[in-house]
């Protein structure tokens, strides 16, 4: 077998087959779940011929192979003595992999973060205008703007009811109905007068009881802006609904299942789930503050310094619900409050690279990365500039740590979820203290992080190897006016497979794609869920989940189009293929249809890399200047070496 030795080497360096809980593959990489990642020899794996790189993300140990990963996967299955070529899982008997905590949290919160940030920005600006005396809190303008700012966060359980139950496999509107029940306004008026009784008297959980349900005491709590109760209730509801669908006859299932689900879940939520989850949230908030107050400076140093590393591996999702819980319970959060300087340290480093480098490709990528980073979107800066150059990324982490230490020392906290980057400033305005020391500490930390990143990168960050293999900048070359490939002159044209927006490949939120390790090309944000063939050729790879396709053009270019990031985990949901493996395709032929809204609602992005994987045969591609592009428009030109 061609890849037999590579498979044996891979298994040996992941700690042996006995260290493998599961192994599956997507269109470019082997995805291992290991019993002990400490037994894996990552450096040795990276140096194996046939391995592009190694990534650790979302609880998976990913060995990046490239287009021939199905063949390597078969060899790994054979070498490991696994029973089949389906996922092998020692924990749940094979088949579907268990979902990690990080994946659950990101899937629940990602769909609402944009609107949550937008409403937070409005609330922050209102607070800023009041603090500066530009707006009085007695005017109608203030109340309307404040209503917009408070709307989503106050009714957060309804929104999380939708995203949480969707993640757990239940009906969306059942989740929303449970969330709406939790914030039903009439219930808050029932907590006046003398209580019927008091539960847990004399303990920290002492709770007055004002109403009962079928004689059972109900502890009424404020669930506005809460996080944990609705997530737990949605999980329970999804299980109840799934059971009821099995036992209720199809003829009445459409209304009897939601009827019984709500009738069972909502009372149990008010009687059991809500109070316990709320108390758990209070304890979590107190524990977080206790750890923070052990040494605010060390906490800031840690979070600020490692924040960008957390983002790369998706670990920041573990802190987001803690921060939102702290805002609900305590009205403020120091956890996310200590990461503010990290993005400014990043753009300080990028600015120094832009001014120092003589490499036109890096210079052309740096300015857009700086601008997007100024507004808090640092992925282009990280993946396109600082991480490939290594030193600037390390320096930016040090700058983030310095700023985080200042934020900790000044005990700066955020008082709302708001915008990123420069738009994050108003979130540090205290509703009671206004522009207090914590607010000015955030400004000082932002400046220090930026200056730190800039000066250290200027002095020490530019080594000899200051290039990144990403191809030429979008807009660097003029369109040639050619509409056909000309193999006799050594070049080939690739056409857009989508209607959408062209982006730099470095903007992809996957370090392997962004670095160009898998191939050169561009990214496209599709505006329509249809993928057309960019060339005439043959389908060389079509993954069973239909989220990615490989095409070998008539002139030899090996093209990979990967719809979204980590969409393999959707297991084919939202994707429909109109071609088969080894099929002949023509330029402009419809290949795959996909549901953009469904993919995004499930917590995944649809930004799609379009790359040439046999990059060793070509010069960096000459990429179109067009930002908005239509399917069939010239995307980039390849010229053979």
Residue 95: is its pLDDT beyond 50? no
- Judged by DSSP in three states, 30 sits in strand
pLDDT digits (tens, 9 = 90+) for 146-159: 899 888 888 989 99
Residue 217: is its pLDDT beyond 60? yes
Q: Residues spanned by CATH 2.70.70.10 within the chain? A: 487-639
Q: Residues spanned by CATH 3.30.1360.60 within the chain? A: 4-80
Residue 307: is its pLDDT beyond 50? yes
**What is the reported pLDDT for 489?**
57
| Domain 487-639 CATH class label | mainly beta
| Contact indicator for 516, 389 with CB cutoff of 8 Å | no
| Domain 4-80 CATH class label | alpha beta
Residue 383: is its pLDDT beyond 70? no
Residue 214: is its pLDDT beyond 50? yes
**What is the reported pLDDT for 126?**
85
Residue 473: is its pLDDT beyond 50? no
| Cα 205 from Cα 347, distance rounded (Å) | 47
| Cα 183 from Cα 155, distance rounded (Å) | 7
pLDDT digits (tens, 9 = 90+) for 188-210: 788 777 888 888 887 767 888 88
Using a CB cutoff of 8 Å and minimum separation of 24, what contacts does 352-356 make?
352/392, 352/453, 352/454, 352/455, 352/457, 352/458, 352/461, 352/462, 353/385, 353/386, 353/389, 353/392, 353/457, 353/461, 353/462, 353/466, 355/458, 356/457, 356/458, 356/461, 356/462
**What is the reported pLDDT for 449?**
93
558: enclosing H helix or E strand: strand 558-562
Residue 627: is its pLDDT beyond 70? yes
Which residue numbers are catalytic? 26, 562
pLDDT digits (tens, 9 = 90+) for 414-433: 888 776 788 888 889 888 87
| Cα 153 from Cα 416, distance rounded (Å) | 9
Question: Please, which pLDDT band fits residue 563 given cuts at 50, 70 and 90?
Answer: very high
With the CA atoms of 624, 626, 632 and 634 taken in that order, what torsion angle do they form, in degrees rounded to the nearest 10? -20
Give the residue with greater pLDDT, 110 vs 332: 332
| Cα 237 from Cα 246, distance rounded (Å) | 14
């Amino acid at each position: 077998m061609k890849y037999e030795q590579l498979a044996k080497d891979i298994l040996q360096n992941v700690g042996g087959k006995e260290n493998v809980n599961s192994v599956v593959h997507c269109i470019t990489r082997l995805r291992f779940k290991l019993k002990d990642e400490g037994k894996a020899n990552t450096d040795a794996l990276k140096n194996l011929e046939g391995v592009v790189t190694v990534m650790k993300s979302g609880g998976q140990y990913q060995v990046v192979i490239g287009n021939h990963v199905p063949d390597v996967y078969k060899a790994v299955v054979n070498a490991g003595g696994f029973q089949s070529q389906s996922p092998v899982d020692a924990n749940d008997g094979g088949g579907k992999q268990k979902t990690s905590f990080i994946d659950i949290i990101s899937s629940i919160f990602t769909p609402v973060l944009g609107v949550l940030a937008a409403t937070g920005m409005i609330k922050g600006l209102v607070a800023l205008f009041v603090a500066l005396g530009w707006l009085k809190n007695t005017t109608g303008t203030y109340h309307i703007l404040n209503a917009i700012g408070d709307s989503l966060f106050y009714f957060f359980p309804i929104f999380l009811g939708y995203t949480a139950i969707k993640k757990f496999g239940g009906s969306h509107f059942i989740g929303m109905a449970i969330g709406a029940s939790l914030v039903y306004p009439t219930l808050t008026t029932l907590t006046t007068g003398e209580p019927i009784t008091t539960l847990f008297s004399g303990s920290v959980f002492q709770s007055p009881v004002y109403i009962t349900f079928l004689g059972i005491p109900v502890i009424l709590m404020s669930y506005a802006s809460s996080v944990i109760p609705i997530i737990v209730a949605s999980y329970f509801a999804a299980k109840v609904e799934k059971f009821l669908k099995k036992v209720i006859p199809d003829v009445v299932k459409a209304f009897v299942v939601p009827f019984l689900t709500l009738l069972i879940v909502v009372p149990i939520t008010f009687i059991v789930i809500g109070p316990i989850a709320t108390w758990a949230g209070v304890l979590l908030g107190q524990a977080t503050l206790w750890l923070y107050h052990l040494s605010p400076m060390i906490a800031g140093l840690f979070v600020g310094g490692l924040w960008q590393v957390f983002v790369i591996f998706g670990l920041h999702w573990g802190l987001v619900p803690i921060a939102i819980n702290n805002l609900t319970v305590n009205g403020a959060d120091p956890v996310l409050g200590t990461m503010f300087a990290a993005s400014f340290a990043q753009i300080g480093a990028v600015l120094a690279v832009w001014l120092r480098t003589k490499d036109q490709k890096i210079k052309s990528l740096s300015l857009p990365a700086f601008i997007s980073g100024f507004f808090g979107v640092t992925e282009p800066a990280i993946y396109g500039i600082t991480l490939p150059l290594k030193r600037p990324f390390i320096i930016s982490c040090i700058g983030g740590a310095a700023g985080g230490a200042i934020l900790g020392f000044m005990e700066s906290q955020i008082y709302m979820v708001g915008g990123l980057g420069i738009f994050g400033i108003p979130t540090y305005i205290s509703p009671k203290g206004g522009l207090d020391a914590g607010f000015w500490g955030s400004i000082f930390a932002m400046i220090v992080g930026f200056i730190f990143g800039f000066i250290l990168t200027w002095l020490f960050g530019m080594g000899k190897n200051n290039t990144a293999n990403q191809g030429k900048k979008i807009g660097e070359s003029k369109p040639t006016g050619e509409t056909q490939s000309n193999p006799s002159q050594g070049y080939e044209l690739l056409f857009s497979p989508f209607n959408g927006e062209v982006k730099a490949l470095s903007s992809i939120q996957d370090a392997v794609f962004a670095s160009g390790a898998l191939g050169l090309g561009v990214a496209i944000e599709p505006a329509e869920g249809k993928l057309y063939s960019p060339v005439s050729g043959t389908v060389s790879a079509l993954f069973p989940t239909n989220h990615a396709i490989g095409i070998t053009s008539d002139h030899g270019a090996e093209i990979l189009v990967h719809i979204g990031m980590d969409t393999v985990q959707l297991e084919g949901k939202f994707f429909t293929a109109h071609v088969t493996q080894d099929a002949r395709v023509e330029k402009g032929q419809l290949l795959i249809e996909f549901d953009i809204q469904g993919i995004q609602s499930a917590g995944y992005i649809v930004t799609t890399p379009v790359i040439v994987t046999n990059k060793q045969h070509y010069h960096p591609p000459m990429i179109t200047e067009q930002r908005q592009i239509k399917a069939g428009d010239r995307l980039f030109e390849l010229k053979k070496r």
